[in-house]
Structure 1
Amino acid sequence: MALKEILRAASRYLGYEISRYQTPMISPLLSLNIDLLIDIGANTGQTAIQARHDGYKNQILSFEPLLDAHKSLCKNSANDSRWYVFRRCALGSSPSISLINVAGNSGSSSILDMLPRHIKAAPESQYSSSQEVEVITLDSIFSEISKNHVNIFLKIDTQGYEHEVLAGSINALQKIKAVQLELSTTQLYASQYLYDYFFDFFKKNDYQLWGLTPGFSDPRTGELLQFDALFVRPDRFK
């Protein structure tokens, strides 16, 4: 059975229906009339740059915890008056100071410990150092950053830390139109929650699964390890 049929069958089993869209994010930004993109785990700004390339012209707010990536993010956004970079910090379930592990490929960096399963599939992702970082909650700043915005899109790419980000965003989710996040089919980081937890979480919070896009696979076996999922509040896209 092809991957798309497997994902579709799995979603139907859980009570969802998958709708087709062109990319994991850009098409919904336009079709849902998004006026604020909140990009958590922005790295150097790849998502924002792609959004601009594909025609999204509204506000972007980026968050990035790594020192070097944050500097590059600020540089890349400098000439875009509608792209704001928040101070260097991580998003989580409660305010704290934490250590974030810096991966060799940057994009796999995480507050969580990396498991051997991940390293075997991507040896270049092994941790090389760690950095101290402030952790805040989205709820604590949401009223301020969401002023004058109606259709808000939340993108989360935090390498296994997604459940912590969502735990600190419970109030914000009531006003967020769509959420895109990277989910895993097997544990790649210690204490990581897997995709089935998030399917259930979003269903309980009145979101509908809009689409799935395959992501990171084990190059040795072809096994799918991560995919992007997009959830939309039904009352917001009618």
Structure 2
Amino acid sequence: MKRLLTSLGYRAVAAGLRIPDFAAARAFHQQARTMQLIRTLDINLVLDVGANRGFWSQHLRMSGYRGQIVSFEPIAGNTGAIEAKRKGDPCWLAMRCALGAEDGAADFNVVLSGAADETVLSSFLAIRNQNARTTIEQVEVKRLESLWPLLSGLVPDPRIFLKMDTQGFDPQVIAGAGAVLDHVRLLQSEISVEPLYDGMTHYTDALLGYEALGFRLMDLFVVNRTADGGVLEYDCLMARP
């Protein structure tokens, strides 16, 4: 059967037929790979930075992770959605703040998109799409290292999965992590091939930076593509022992 399917697949390619590319299948593959690494590295504390409305952490729970989660999200409406999702889950906390290189407050560009006014494109950086509907909120910014006294008390011997989806601000999150990075075993970062925002780090520079910290690339997952099929962004999964 495997040989037959392989033969049919190559014949379809040779005939120029379009092979179905299901978004749901890609998402499940990424989730399965992520869970495999969480188990292998014995992760017991997940930091969901740029949590938006909490779907990523909710899916992590649905995939079998039962350890501690802390979601960081600066937009008030989104933190309300996270609170609703984590209700009854004592091992999932939510903090209404952004993470960055310095403690303080900063202007945050809230970008509304789609009929449901999604805010997934919101960022501290200016979006290059001039037609984007943008408002500005001042939000609290905390260094991850400043929160370590709280976070380190949540689990014994923290083994951290640092997931970042901050629309170009991931390097600032790392800059404020300090000694907390010593406890990070698994890292996910959204890296940009073609920048959506002013001042975004190029994906090759981002990968080199993470490698310099001792992380090894485990997988790349396409997040978005251009109209002609080029890659806009990847999620990179990186690990270290």
TM-score range, shorter chain: 0.7 to 0.9
CA distance in 2, matches of 1:30, 1:47: 17
CA distance in 2, matches of 1:35, 1:46: 19
RMSD between aligned alpha carbons?
1.6
| Percent identity between the two aligned chains | 30
Contact kept? 2:107, 2:138, Cα under 8 Å = yes
Query: Following TM superposition, by how much is the alpha carbon of 1:134 offset from its aligned partner in structure 2, in angstroms?
Result: 0.8
1:107 aligns with 2:120: yes
CA distance in 1, matches of 2:48, 2:30: 19
Amino acid at match of 1:229: C
Match of 2:45 in 1: 36
Amino acid at match of 2:135: S
Q: TM-score of the superposition, structure 1-length normalised?
A: 0.81
Task: Report the number of matched residues.
Answer: 205
Query: Following TM superposition, by how much is the alpha carbon of 1:127 offset from its aligned partner in structure 2, in angstroms?
Result: 3.3
Q: Secondary structure at the match of 1:216?
A: strand
1:181 aligns with 2:194: no
CA distance in 2, matches of 1:127, 1:161: 20
Q: Where does 1:59-78 land on structure 2 (aligned, <5 Å)?
A: 59-78=68-87
Q: Which runs of 5+ in 1 are unaligned?
A: 1-20
CA distance in 1, matches of 2:208, 2:149: 26
CA distance in 2, matches of 1:153, 1:94: 21
Mean Cα deviation higher: 153-162 or 142-151: 142-151
Contact kept? 1:25, 1:180, Cα under 8 Å = no
Rg: which structure is higher? 2
Q: Which has the higher relative contact order, 1 or 2, with Cα contacts under 8 A spaced 6 or more apart?
A: 1
Q: TM-score of the superposition, structure 2-length normalised?
A: 0.80
Query: Following TM superposition, by how much is the alpha carbon of 1:150 offset from its aligned partner in structure 2, in angstroms?
Result: 3.0
Query: Following TM superposition, by how much is the alpha carbon of 1:73 offset from its aligned partner in structure 2, in angstroms?
Result: 0.8
Q: Which runs of 5+ in 2 are unaligned?
A: 1-28, 113-117
CA distance in 1, matches of 2:199, 2:176: 17
Contact kept? 1:182, 1:229, Cα under 8 Å = yes
1:136 aligns with 2:142: yes
Query: Following TM superposition, by how much is the alpha carbon of 1:156 offset from its aligned partner in structure 2, in angstroms?
Result: 0.4
Contact kept? 1:93, 1:166, Cα under 8 Å = yes
